[in-house]
């Protein structure tokens, strides 16, 4: 997987994994470093993180409402 794009920004894949806390240890440091220097990627990371928490919420609420669906 590519961590950085040709434009030297963090790739979407890496941002997604980072939001899930799934980046390999060796890739985490360069990504965190870049995020601390690049407002552009910080903004994108904030959006990815929001999306991830939305997915978690959706998954959680689906589990919670499933019994009503079966009714």
If the CB atoms of residues 40 and 56 are measured against Zn ion, the closer one turns out to be 40
If the CB atoms of residues 12 and 50 are measured against Zn ion, the closer one turns out to be 12
How many residues touch Zn ion under the rule CB under 5 A: the total is: 4
Closest to 27 measured CA to CA, from 37, 38, 13:
13
CB 29 within 8 A of CB 4: no
Q: Does 38 participate in binding Zn ion (rule CB under 5 A)? A: yes
If the CB atoms of residues 9 and 49 are measured against Zn ion, the closer one turns out to be 9
Instruction: At 67, list the tokens.
Output: 């019994």
Q: List the one residue from 3, 14, 15, 41 that touches Zn ion (CB under 5 A).
A: 41
Closest to 44 measured CA to CA, from 17, 21, 15:
15
């Amino acid at each position: 997987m590519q961590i950085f794009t040709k434009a030297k920004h963090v790739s979407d894949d890496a941002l997604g994994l980072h939001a899930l806390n799934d980046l390999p240890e060796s890739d985490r440091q360069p990504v965190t470093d870049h995020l601390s220097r690049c407002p552009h990627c910080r903004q994108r990371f904030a959006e990815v993180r929001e999306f991830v928490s939305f997915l978690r919420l959706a998954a959680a609420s689906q589990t919670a409402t499933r019994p009503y669906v079966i009714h």
